[in-house]
Amino acid sequence: MSDERPPTSFQTTNPATEVDLRSYAVDDEATVESTLETAAAQFDSWSDRPITERESLLEGVATVLRDGKAEYAELITDEVGKPIDQARSEVEKCAWVCEYYAERAGEYLQDDRLGAVPGTKTYVTYEPLGPVLAIMPWNYPFWQVFRFAAPHLTAGNVGVLKHAPNTMGCAQAITSIFREAGYPDGVFSSLQIPDDRVANVIRDDRIAAVTLTGSTRAGRAVAAESGEALKKTVLELGGSDPFVVLDDAPIETVAERAASARTLNAGQSCISAKRIVVHDGIADEFLSAFTREMKSLTVGDPADEATDIGPLARADLLEQLDEQVQASVEAGATIVTGGEPLSRTGYFYPPTVLTGVPDGCPAAEEELFGPVATVTSVPDEETAVSVANDSQYGLGASVWTGDTDRGENLVSKIEAGNVFVNQIVQSDPRLPFGGIKQSGYGSELSDHGIREFTNPKTVWVE
């Protein structure tokens, strides 16, 4: 029997300085009950509002985000160590997704008129489900929340956020943004609870659906709880994206893009290019160019405009990444550059390149959530596809070539929810985003995403 007591507060810490920022009280059961009751009570009136009013309010959210961009970016940098220019870009992208759905939500949710029998009126209407629990991660603490909230609140649902404990400041700021934009209390709210209390919220009858962005392990747990209660879920989980370089690719340009794709947000992204798969004919030249690009990146203070790579977000994440690298080296992998934590204050790990990665080791089988890339050479396209697909994950993939037709011909052979040719994998409000295999299911963004938490109700009038 464990003597460990449940936490009474969450402590946020600056990962670059290891200085504590602020403590946030864990919500007691009465607070959770009040939050859920308010969310449920608001749903009817909120969903009854004309969608044009909801679109207008969302446009106001974009304005609040842009007006407060410097403040919100600094908060992101302080809590998760993201370089300040990347943090500003994250806030800008949140404003963009709000503006996008403020313009397009009504179009995407209009009734579909379908012919059936002459003299009858038949159509499909898209109705909101109710309060949706959004379990969100720390790595993109604003973007992950807004890419959920912008479409689904505008569709008429209400949102209840359960954010990561190390980003409680971001959670409170986001709640304040919706309030400042004029949203009624309870349309968007936040719970400050530990992971072991989430199952009770999922089972609560007032929660209609659940969305999670996080690890595959967390996805299985959420899917099991939600499935038991027959509640709709959308899961965006881990990834170990292949970055396939064919023998006709422009080496220097692609090497630079590969380094960027691997190290954005210190490599802490599900859609980072984690596995570089390159044709034998250019493998040596590419490895030299890629290693040079990785070494050229500046690791340092994320508040400094010159910094390319900040710290990992927490001490345990640094420890886990290093354990994965060392276990892979012990299994036979070779370190080309990097390979151990930097000896300095903060949770810093250098850009790292591994080659000769054997099957079965962590670098081959697991997601490395940090600036560590593996480089594997292959003799032909068929082997490249086989290596790309040899993963439990299926989130994103990219193919790099001087012949776009050649690249596009490989798209149907690669097992992933998103495949980009000559472009870094990214989420875009205009396009659906989601994974397959152990990377989850369901769509976010575009017209596909906004309909995920609606009831496509068939109507027949005779």
Q: Are residues 79 and 202 in the same domain?
A: yes
In this structure, is the dihedral angle defined by the CA atoms of residues 5, 11, 13 and 19, taken in order, positive or negative?
A: negative
- 2 — pLDDT class (breaks 50, 70, 90): very low
Average pLDDT, the chain: 97
Catalytic-labelled residue, pool 90, 99, 225, 236: 236
CATH number at residue 358: 3.40.309.10
3: in domain: no
CATH number at residue 97: 3.40.605.10
406: in domain: yes
434 neighbors 441 (Cβ within 8 angstroms): yes
- Does the active-site annotation cover 170? no
Q: Are residues 221 and 260 in the same domain?
A: no
What is the residue range of 107's domain? 9-237+439-461
394: in domain: yes
4: in domain: no
User: pLDDT per residue over 231-264, tens digit each?
Assistant: 999 999 999 999 999 999 999 999 999 999 999 9
In the chain, what percentage of residues exceed pLDDT 90? 98
Q: Are residues 102 and 183 in the same domain?
A: yes
- 409 — pLDDT class (breaks 50, 70, 90): very high
Say how many C-beta atoms besides its own lie within 10 A of residue 13's C-beta. 19
421: in domain: yes
* Rounded distance between C-alpha atoms, residue 125 and residue 455, angstroms: 8
User: pLDDT per residue over 169-212, tens digit each?
Assistant: 999 999 999 999 999 999 999 999 999 999 999 999 999 999 99
Q: Are residues 55 and 115 in the same domain?
A: yes
Q: Are residues 76 and 204 in the same domain?
A: yes
Which pLDDT belongs to residue 333? 98
Which pLDDT belongs to residue 3? 54
389 neighbors 284 (Cβ within 8 angstroms): no
Which pLDDT belongs to residue 206? 98
Q: Are residues 180 and 263 in the same domain?
A: no
Amino acid code (one letter) for 58: L
User: What's the number of domains the chain is made of?
Assistant: 2
Catalytic-labelled residue, pool 270, 361, 367, 452: 270
Q: Are residues 76 and 134 in the same domain?
A: yes
Is the pLDDT at 4 greater than 90? The verdict is: no
- 327 — pLDDT class (breaks 50, 70, 90): very high
- Does the active-site annotation cover 236? yes
User: pLDDT per residue over 141-179, tens digit each?
Assistant: 999 999 999 999 999 999 999 999 999 999 999 999 999
| Mean pLDDT for the stretch of residues 421-447 | 98
The pTM of the whole model exceeds 0.95 = yes
3 neighbors 171 (Cβ within 8 angstroms): no
Q: Are residues 386 and 289 in the same domain?
A: yes
